[in-house]
Amino acid sequence: MISINPKEISTGKLHSYLLGAIAPRPIAFASTIDKKGNSNLSPFSFFNVFGSNPPTLIFSPARRVRDNTIKDTLENVISTKEVVINVVNYDIVQQMSLSSTEYPKGINEFEKAGFTMLKSDEIKPFRVAESPVQFECKVQDIIYTGNEGGAGNLIVCEVVKIHVSEAVLAEDGSIDQHKIDLVARAGGSYYTRARDGFFEIPKPISTLGIGVDAIPKHIRNSKILTGNNLGMLGNVEQLPSEVTVDNFAKEHPQFIGLETVKKHTFAQDFLNKNDVESAWLVLLLK
């Protein structure tokens, strides 16, 4: 493993490490207007949600690394204190990327990228009609992290109106993660299509997992089971009873008397199928 002092490498190199390691990142497709009423549209992946009461989004149009200039989006929110943050899904990712072209000041990226300008209800900047979710926001604060190229400018926004397309809703009214089909930013020119990589992990909130430290040592020190495997095993509230293990043995005699490596391999196969109970039962067989 290499160790890096951020102050001893170029900002460009540091920027590359940060974006390559901290990914995927959601995309704030920010629509603003200047004092003259000219629209601007630009994507930013230094972005996330930071609270729901009040609903708070923060994104950062950082100072350009190459020449230390600031972006039109930052200038506009400083002067107007309003922004629409549109989410980006797979259907519009290519147009979104095109809009990030640094056209001259005053050029309308909505038109350049082929997006439809949709009037907002509470603020002046337009929404992206093609975006499945649009957040009308008032800017509450701007936090400047520095004055050099690469420095962030954290724009703290309070959501004052949300628009959600019915096409991305599940039957219970929540947003269906497969239907919304969001994309996220990674390092270099890479993006990821979120729904292609979804998997579920039971949240250890209502339950109290036994923890990895409570797993018997001969299992915990396995040469087969990974850290993720141990995390799944440690997330159970209690180990199976001896009666349950005995019944499993009667139903699955093929697992009795296995050497450790084979036993742990079978257990790992069950874990890969999210069958934690069967994994434990195999591991606890004599």
Query: For 223-243, how does the pLDDT look when each residue is reduced to its tens digit (9 = 90+)?
Result: 999 999 999 999 999 999 999
- The whole-model pTM stands at 0.83
Together in a domain, 88 and 190: yes
How many domains does the chain fold into? 2
Burial of 172 (0-12, 13-18, 19+ CB in 10 A): exposed
Neighbours of 49 (CB within 10 A): 14
My answer on whether 126 and 237 are in the same domain is no
- Give the C-alpha separation, 232 to 222, whole Å: 14
| Alpha carbon distance 191, 197 (integer Å) | 12
Of 197, 225, 252, the residue that ends a domain is 197
Residues 6 or more apart from 34 whose CB is under 8 A from it?
Answer: 40, 72, 75, 76, 79, 80
| Nearest-angstrom CA–CA distance, 128 and 32 | 11
Mode of pairing for the β-strands spanning 55-59 and 47-52: antiparallel
The residue range of the domain holding 61 is 6-197
DSSP 168: G
Mean pLDDT of the chain: 93
Same domain, 96 and 144: yes
User: Is 205 among the domain residues?
Assistant: no
* CA–CA dist 109, 51 (Å, integer): 30
Let me know if residue 206 belongs to a domain: no
pLDDT in tens, 122-171: 999 999 999 999 999 999 999 999 988 888 899 999 999 999 999 999 99
pLDDT for 165-189, tens place per residue? 999 999 999 999 999 999 999 999 9
